[in-house]
Structure 1
Amino acid sequence: MSDIADVSLAYEGVKRIGWADRTMPVLRQIRERFAEDRPLDGYRIAACLHVTTETANLIRTLQAGGASVALAASNPLSTQDDVAAALVQEYGAEVFARSGTDREGYYRHIRQALETAPDLVLDDGCDLVNTLHTERQDLLDTVKAGCEETTTGVIRLHQMVREGALRFPVVAVNDTDTKHMFDNRYGTGQSTLDGIVRATNTLLAGKTVVIAGFGYCGRGLAERARGLGARVVVTEIDPVKALDAALQGFAVQPMAEAAKQGDVFITVTGNRDVIGAEHLRVMKDGAILANSGHFDVEIDVRALEDLAVDVHRGVRPQADEYVLEDGRTLVLLAEGRLVNLAAAEGHPAAVMDMSFADQALTCAWLASAHASLEPAVHQVPKEIDTEVARLKLASMEIGIDTLTDAQEDYLHSWRLGS
């Protein structure tokens, strides 16, 4: 039995899922192919993903391939209750997700999804895989393989491999070019700023925006914040990424310095306590704090609560004011959770089209290839990444060149030179 908020919301969910589907042409083509080929016939899939319109179209695609799907939410604040209702009522999926559920409800939903004894698992942050390995080891023998959607989850998986804990192969869908280059850079870059503006109605032009982390997400954010007229400061621990930011014209500073200057702070590192008490103590009055990393650990919310003498909850939707002893006010967005999903709608569907096309094709590949894979973190086959890019270009009516026979020979021969 599913656990959702209100089944009567299904009609609204169907409309919004259809709207997203219009700008997901690659996934739509794969769905049509799956309906004919049925590469997932008989497979049970348990997924822990953001319950959004885009995810719904992935679930529909997996079902078209023959799979039965149980879906739990990877973040309670991103759950769209109308989408959950539509997936249950109209599309026949099992869904365990309610917007705003607490930590206990979040893990209960993951456990309920796992009760289906899945053959394949799809994860976004590694909480489902972690629960399998810590609480439901009795189900591990039924799981053939899995996919991981986000950087934070891939980091956790590599730690499991180093400790010899991972019991089945997992493909790092996050690491494909069509995922991290476009989803992280263009998707996170746009949707994070969208969430901040919706939550605060602030003007970014002329503001100092501090971005913690200069991976693909941080690069996208920096580019778009600069495009909106902000002065961008980047903080980093990686010398190569810091140098990259500097050579792109961004100011690079330690957080201890940047904390005194910033008007808006955005964390996208995948690590904890990136903004801590020592930084909060020196921030400007009215500074805005937002996180777009996967888990709500990048901003030390407990330290912020300890420093505050008063908290004004919900001064705007997804915005809380923390009043400090000296009278300064700091504004925390989305409780320190993913601001782009809690305060906005996450990535545009056109971006998720590629990420979820990667997921769907990788699931189909795993259905036939899992037996040959060791329990480790694996990369998506290059041909899948290339196929997704090719389909996306075709949907945009963009053509590219192909190599001539002479060019192919030149690239594959060491005898030919200048």
Structure 2
Amino acid sequence: MTETITGRVEDPDAARESGRQKISWARQHMPILASLREEFRGERPLEGETVGMAMHVEAKTAVLTETLAEAGAEVAITGCNPLSTHDDVSVALDAHPSITSYAERGVDDDEYYEAMEAVIAHEPTITVDDGGDLVFRIHEEHPELIEGIVGGCEETTTGVHRLRAMAEDGALEYPMFAVNDTPMKRLFDNVHGTGEAALSNISMTTNLSFAGKTVVVAGYGYCGRGVAKKAAGQNANVVVTEVDPRRALEAHMEGYEVLPMAEAAAEGDIFVTTTGNRDVITQEHFRRMDDGVVLSNAGHFDVEINLDQLDDMAEAREEVRDGVEAFELPDGRRINVLAEGRLVNLASPIAMGHPVEVMDQSFGIQAVCARELVANTDPYEAGVHDVPDELDREVAEVKLDAEGIEVDELSDAQRDYMDSWDHGT
């Protein structure tokens, strides 16, 4: 089995102290998980379960991980992106008696999958994934473990897309909750989390302003809407590219210019991809770009910007700032790529991920879904399942209570009216 993170850092005591400080700060601003943790301590709903996790291992994720451990689970965790792990947080998690962490920043592909294999070696009964790599690895390499898995949760758009494709092919052999698709995730994490985190990390990495610049947002799903909205709020001119006619029309009706990427490439100063697809920006577009443009990805995998084609076109490449690599083309133009084309809000050297309060909501959904999988196994057959609405509402109610916000309740007459079909003019 791969050695845990603690044995691979130079000063584990200092790393542990630093990691605990980050986790403590996040805990203070995550009231949903605090409420669930108090419930879980008493009820121990995951007693006897082993949770295998492949996530972005930073402070907010650590609060979720420790919450699952408080629920009685043994937890093994690794990263879902080679550049998103905070090693000090990983060491702090590894010190927990019920948690084993293999996550390390900067690993190569072989090391990335070795760590995932180490998590799988714990024989998880529940999987919690971001991007789908853990689920697919189990199905492809360890099908003998599937019978013992009660189910899993998938955090992000890309992972849900992959799982649905897998289910359509009849290849998904245990139930998975599409956490990404529930309102408490899409309406807050995808819009506000991705929007704020992507732009703040672009700004901090480059030390550039958005005001007066043209920001090209590729994709107008929930993440793209958030990026476009936040960029416009910082006085940028926003251009949206899309392949879906309804989303393109929605962007148009929101006041954004909508163009094909081939045209947007000649106008943009800063590009943010949010599609979850590959080859969104390619050599065709690099040829049209101005000197000094900034390219970033807020999708999941590093395939949205075709860096192999850019590398083939470039005469030279160099790191011009921490987290910024400039590709110099034969005509002298420079194209700057952030975070090696990986998630800019998590993979850039100074990235902190989504805001704490936003992730509290998403991770609250993850926690109640894990509880649901153990408590109610019968309703869930192999395949992708929507998060039950009552769980989504539960998390929303906890958040409102923590914010001191009260809402109205339907009267009996109103409820009867809404449930009836025979009320006419």
TM-score, normalised on structure 1? Answer: 0.98
SS in 1 for 2:315: strand
Give 1:407's aligned residue: 414
Give 2:365's aligned residue: 358
AA aligned opposite 1:195: N
SS in 1 for 2:267: coil
Give the Cα–Cα distance (whole angstroms) in 2 for the partners of residues 304 and 199 of structure 1.
Answer: 21
Give 1:338's aligned residue: 343
1:282 aligns with 2:284: no
Give 1:30's aligned residue: 36
**Cα drift, residue 232 of structure 1:** 0.1
Give the Cα–Cα distance (whole angstroms) in 2 for the partners of residues 412 and 294 of structure 1.
Answer: 41
1:304 aligns with 2:310: yes
Between 379-388 and 397-406, the greater mean CA deviation after superposition: 397-406
Give the Cα–Cα distance (whole angstroms) in 2 for the partners of residues 252 and 395 of structure 1.
Answer: 40
Give the Cα–Cα distance (whole angstroms) in 2 for the partners of residues 414 and 234 of structure 1.
Answer: 42
Give the Cα–Cα distance (whole angstroms) in 1 for the partners of residues 199 and 97 of structure 2.
Answer: 33
> Deviations 1:263-299 (Å, cap 9, x if unpaired)?
0000000000000110011101000000010000000
AA aligned opposite 2:331: D
1:222 aligns with 2:222: no
Identity of aligned residues (%): 47
Give 1:3's aligned residue: 5
Give 1:320's aligned residue: 325
Give the Cα–Cα distance (whole angstroms) in 2 for the partners of residues 101 and 209 of structure 1.
Answer: 31
Between 367-376 and 356-365, the greater mean CA deviation after superposition: 367-376
AA aligned opposite 2:130: D
**Cα drift, residue 31 of structure 1:** 0.4
Give the Cα–Cα distance (whole angstroms) in 2 for the partners of residues 91 and 185 of structure 1.
Answer: 36
Question: 1:80-91 counterparts in 2 under 5 A?
Answer: 80-90=86-96
SS in 1 for 2:193: helix
Give the Cα–Cα distance (whole angstroms) in 1 for the partners of residues 347 and 201 of structure 2.
Answer: 8
Question: 1:54-203 counterparts in 2 under 5 A?
Answer: 54-90=60-96, 92-203=98-209
Give the Cα–Cα distance (whole angstroms) in 2 for the partners of residues 218 and 397 of structure 1.
Answer: 31
Match for 1:329 among 334, 354, 368?
Answer: 334
**Contact map agreement 2:266 2:289 (CA 8 A) in 1:** yes
Give 1:268's aligned residue: 274
Give the Cα–Cα distance (whole angstroms) in 2 for the partners of residues 171 and 76 of structure 1.
Answer: 24
Give 1:394's aligned residue: 401
AA aligned opposite 2:353: G
**Cα drift, residue 90 of structure 1:** 4.0
> Deviations 1:29-69 (Å, cap 9, x if unpaired)?
00000001111000001000010100100011101110000
> Deviations 1:314-369 (Å, cap 9, x if unpaired)?
x1111000000100000000000000012221101100000000000000000022
AA aligned opposite 1:89: A
AA aligned opposite 1:352: M
Give the Cα–Cα distance (whole angstroms) in 2 for the partners of residues 111 and 365 of structure 1.
Answer: 26
AA aligned opposite 2:280: V
AA aligned opposite 1:79: T
SS in 2 for 1:39: coil
AA aligned opposite 1:400: V
Give 2:354's aligned residue: 347
AA aligned opposite 1:105: E
Give the Cα–Cα distance (whole angstroms) in 1 for the partners of residues 49 and 249 of structure 2.
Answer: 47
**Contact map agreement 2:131 2:158 (CA 8 A) in 1:** yes
Give 2:389's aligned residue: 382
AA aligned opposite 1:335: E
**Contact map agreement 1:48 1:73 (CA 8 A) in 2:** yes
Match for 1:15 among 5, 12, 21?
Answer: 21
Give the Cα–Cα distance (whole angstroms) in 2 for the partners of residues 167 and 79 of structure 1.
Answer: 29
Give the Cα–Cα distance (whole angstroms) in 1 for the partners of residues 295 and 340 of structure 2.
Answer: 9
- Which segments of structure 1 move beyond 6 Å, counting only runs of 4 or more? none
Give the Cα–Cα distance (whole angstroms) in 1 for the partners of residues 356 and 417 of structure 2.
Answer: 40
Give the Cα–Cα distance (whole angstroms) in 2 for the partners of residues 164 and 411 of structure 1.
Answer: 39
Between 43-52 and 7-16, the greater mean CA deviation after superposition: 7-16
SS in 2 for 1:118: coil
Give the Cα–Cα distance (whole angstroms) in 2 for the partners of residues 404 and 234 of structure 1.
Answer: 44
1:40 aligns with 2:42: no
Give the Cα–Cα distance (whole angstroms) in 2 for the partners of residues 135 and 82 of structure 1.
Answer: 30
TM-score, normalised on structure 2? Answer: 0.97
Give the Cα–Cα distance (whole angstroms) in 2 for the partners of residues 229 and 258 of structure 1.
Answer: 18
Give the Cα–Cα distance (whole angstroms) in 1 for the partners of residues 5 and 169 of structure 2.
Answer: 35
SS in 2 for 1:401: coil
**Cα drift, residue 416 of structure 1:** 1.9
Give the Cα–Cα distance (whole angstroms) in 2 for the partners of residues 203 and 11 of structure 1.
Answer: 35
SS in 2 for 1:97: coil
AA aligned opposite 1:408: R
SS in 1 for 2:27: helix
Q: For structure 2, list consecutive stretches of 5 or more residues without a partner in the other structure.
A: none
Give the Cα–Cα distance (whole angstroms) in 1 for the partners of residues 284 and 196 of structure 2.
Answer: 29
SS in 2 for 1:206: coil
Give the Cα–Cα distance (whole angstroms) in 2 for the partners of residues 370 and 285 of structure 1.
Answer: 56
> Deviations 1:227-277 (Å, cap 9, x if unpaired)?
001000000001110000000000000000000000000000000000011
